[in-house]
Amino acid sequence: MFLDLFYGLREEGVPVALQEWMTFLTALRQGLHGSSLLRFYHLARACLVKSETYFDAFDRVFAHVFQGVEGALDDIADEVLKWLADPKNFPNLSPEELAALERLSADELMQRFLETLAKQTERHDGGDRWVGTGGRSPYGHGGQHPTGIRVGGQGGGRSAMKVAGERRFRDYRTDVALDNRQMRVALRRLRQLTRTGLETELDLDETVDETCRNAGEIELVFRAPRKNDVRLLLLMDVGGTMDPYFEPVSHLLTALHEERGLREFRPYYFHNCVYDQVYSRARLTRADAIPTADVLRRLDDRWKLAIVGDAAMHPSELLDAHGGINPHATSATSGIAWLHRLAAHFERAVWINPDDAALWDQTYTTRLVRRLFPMFHLSVDGLGDAVQALVGARA
Amino acid sequence: MPESNGFHRFKGTAGYIASGPLVDAVNCAVALERPLLIKGEPGTGKTLLAKHVADGLEMPMLSWHIKSTSKAADGLYVYDTVQRLNDSRFGGGNVADINHYIKLGPLGQAFAATERHVLLIDEIDKADLEFPNDLLRELDEMRFTVTETGAEVVAEKRPVVVITSNNEKELPDAFLRRCIFHFIEFPDAPLMRQIVDVHHPHLDAALLDQVLIKFYWLREQNELRKKPSTSELIDWISALLRAGVSKEQIEGHIPFIGALLKKEQDADALQRYDTKGGDYPTRWSDLGPRYNQ
């Protein structure tokens, strides 16, 4: 039952490892949670969760695992209270045992923990969930005194369940929330450092080596400073079905413009699908049109391609010649052919889709596009994965 | 079963109001001898915390402020090769003794000290992505070897390590696993009153009410590019007090807006709101339900 918290967190995608769990148990053994559920909650969070983006998931799991704890308290029989109050019932560990415990490997310790848990369940069957939490394992010892559970926190009478139930950290979830700053953090990984250009930086290690080789006469060695070598071509779908996503997409564009580290960055716009022309400005007038073939000719395969769009359109817009719905530009080549060319031209390309990932497979054209480009959701997590696909090591 | 290991407990200090969970996190880190990782909005007192932990626990403090060029090894020690080379060519110094050219960094000093120190590693996210990984072993075992001399520095008293991060970069998982984590939430109004009281004691209650209402109202405005934080509030109150602004004067508008809003666009937007005759809240009930419990 206590382990439900651990596995519940893992199921929710919170990266909790055994190491953190052991830290938490050690903290409990030292009685750091005092005698209140609220402090128990804070202690568990401090030990197990390492990013505020997971606080919401933690709150949900905690509320689920320990739900009804407060209500059930009223039903706890006196004998359980007595059992809790009697220190004899806690399987105390002698210093020798403790020392032995510390030598155990993590796996064994977990095994021992599970065994102890099982044994005690038999002996003390049916007990309330909370009692299980507080007293069933030597590691999880704590024997939270039940009266301590309702806590007068600073705000006056806030309990851990209420704190967990409030879910104040919802805004920090990375799979939904997006703002300019978070995007910049995600995009910061978009870099491949190489040494090119003028040799202006003193290479101290080389200088020392060369000087030694030179019998002590100082020989200065210079090298080129490290610079980001990423060139990014961004193609953005504008108008129509993309209008609801104006805000996140413009955040993305701002973040990319502000990302000074990029060696070169070129954004172009299109509507629904890429055809013979792309546009240098989002208003998509004929004056801004640039032949897509020219773009491909000018940018070699060292460039990275990111396409932002929902990939949802009428099948004919993607598959037919003259399929584009822009009356100013007709295109003898179908959209899908252009997408094929783009995917073949650039070594690394990604498609960033603002639509919810669950919807992707419901649209025929999105399914087709996904066969050509790895698709990522326009969220902090998705963006991080997309960046990884652009510059990371190949899987 | 020991209730506590008898270590010195941190309770907050007169100059620093710490919330209950923060105190627990600090004590947890002290007791388990794990690094404490502190995140939170800028201006919520992350860096100050270390100083006050040191005060509260009556330990000396060392700080290591991380820059984008910081390397993990610099925190342990620096071997001043250039100085030695210079000495060897032009005389001076004891060139034969390499120890003269080994300078311990903040982490090295904390390990070498005979007294338990509080070590602040400030803004760890400023450094290279690999930086925290390079510190894993040193923070775990609290020992390192000076390669040049073969001497090993072992921490007799494991320092209390406080690490702050502004979230500019993700920290590696292996590093996070070793830390106790606390996220400093933005203080709510009652806590903010206590914080203000520390910096500006004996402030008129009605004036403080008006100040806080305006402050939280500003923070509720999602259009703002940079929301004012605690440190800006404290500065603003100093400015108000110096100018002798009365409670009535801040009911109708917000003087010295430059102390609160640091972005030009934000200040402009508020100016426009002001000239258009926009209303400012004067009672807590004018703010959302969150402030009226």
Q: What is the pLDDT of residues B154-188, one digit of tens each?
A: 888 889 999 998 877 778 888 888 899 998 888 88
Residue of A50, A153, A218 with shortest CB distance to B181: A50
> In whole angstroms, what is the distance from residue A186 CA to residue B170 CA?
9
Residue A144 is predicted with a pLDDT of 32
| CB A61, CB A12: distance < 8 Å | yes
Query: What is the full DSSP assignment across B142-175?
Result: -EEE-TTT--EEE-SS--EEEEEE-SSSPPPHHH
Count CA atoms closer than 13 A to B215's CA, side-chain side: 25
Residue B91 CB contacts under 8 Å (≥ 6 apart), including other chains: none
Q: Do A42 and B167 touch (CB under 8 A)?
A: no
Nearest CA in chain B to A89: B1
Mutate to test the interface with B, among A30, A159, A189, A209 (most CBs of B within 10 A): A30
pLDDT at residue B4, rounded to an integer: 39
Asked if the Cβ–Cβ distance from A42 to B20 is below 8 Å, we say yes
- Residue to test with chain A: of B175, B181, B184, B194, most A Cβ within 10 A: B181
- Give the Cα separation of B36 and B22 in Å (integer): 10
B28 at the A interface (CB within 8 A)? yes
Q: Going by DSSP bridges, is the β-strand pair A193-195/A226-228 parallel, antiparallel, or unpaired? A: antiparallel
In the predicted model, residues of chain B with pLDDT beneath 50 are: 1-6
- Name the residue with tokens 């090295």: B108
In this structure, what token pair is assigned to residue B160?
């209390």
B164 forms beta bridges with: B38
Contact A214, A279 (CB under 8 A): no
CB contact under 8 Å between A208 and B81, yes or no, is: yes
Q: Are A330 and A317 in contact (CB under 8 A)?
A: no
For B66-82, give the secondary structure using H, E and C: CCCCCCHHHHHEEECHH
Helix, strand, coil percentages for chain A (3-state, nearest 5): 50, 10, 35
Give residue A328's pLDDT.
61
If residue B62 lies in a helix (H) or strand (E), which one and from where to where? strand B61-65
**Closest listed residue to residue B263, CA positions, set B230, B220, B232, B217:** B232
Cα dihedral value B127, B129, B132, B136, nearest 10 = -150
Question: What is the mean pLDDT of each successive set of 10 residues along chain A, which is 395 residues long?
Answer: 77 83 81 72 86 83 71 34 37 45 44 48 37 34 31 38 58 51 70 70 84 80 79 85 78 74 84 86 80 88 88 82 67 85 89 87 87 88 85 66
Looking at beta carbons, which residues of chain A come within 8 Å of B7?
A: none
In chain A, residues with a C-beta closer than 8 Å to the C-beta of B81 are 204, 208
Q: Which two tokens stand for residue A186?
A: 């995600």
Task: With residue B31 as reference, give the H or E element that holds it.
Answer: helix B20-32
Instruction: State the Cα–Cα distance between residues A151 and A145, nearest whole angstrom.
Output: 12
Angle at CA of residue A121, ends A116 and A124, nearest 5°: 120
* A223 membership: H or E segment, kind and range: strand A222-223
Please, how many CA atoms are within 13 Å of residue B37, restricted to the half-sphere of its CB? Answer: 26
pLDDT of residue B162: 93
Please judge whether A153 and B20 are an interchain contact, meaning their C-beta atoms are less than 8 angstroms apart. Answer: yes
Q: Are the CB atoms for B287 and B220 separated by under 8 Å? A: yes
Return left, alpha or beta for B92; rule: phi > 0 is left, psi -120 to 50 is alpha, else beta: left
Q: One-letter amino acid identity for A285?
A: T
Integer CA distances (angstroms), A388 to A82, A103, A354, A395, B38, in order: 57, 39, 18, 10, 27
**B222 and A CB contact within 8 Å:** no
Query: Which pLDDT belongs to residue B277?
Result: 73
B81 touches chain A (CB under 8 A): yes
Q: What is the DSSP string of B220-282?
A: H-TT-SS---HHHHHHHHHHHHHHT--HHHHHH--S-GGGT--SHHHHHHHHHHHHTT-----
- Angle A18-29/A106-123 helices, nearest 10 degrees? 60
Task: Assess contact for A350 and A307: CB atoms under 8 A.
Answer: yes
The Cα of B18 is separated from the nearest Cα of chain A by a number of Å equal to 11
pTM of the prediction? 0.59
Q: Are A335 and A318 in contact (CB under 8 A)?
A: yes
Q: Chain A contact for B203, CB < 8 A?
A: no
| Close Cβ partners of A43 (under 8 Å, ≥ 6 residues apart) | A24, A27, A28, A32, A33, B24, B28
What pLDDT sits at residue B181? 92
Confidence at residue A179, expressed as pLDDT on a 0 to 100 scale = 59
In this complex, do B28 and A27 lie within 8 Å of one another by their Cβ atoms?
yes
Closest CA to B292 of B283, A363, A178: B283
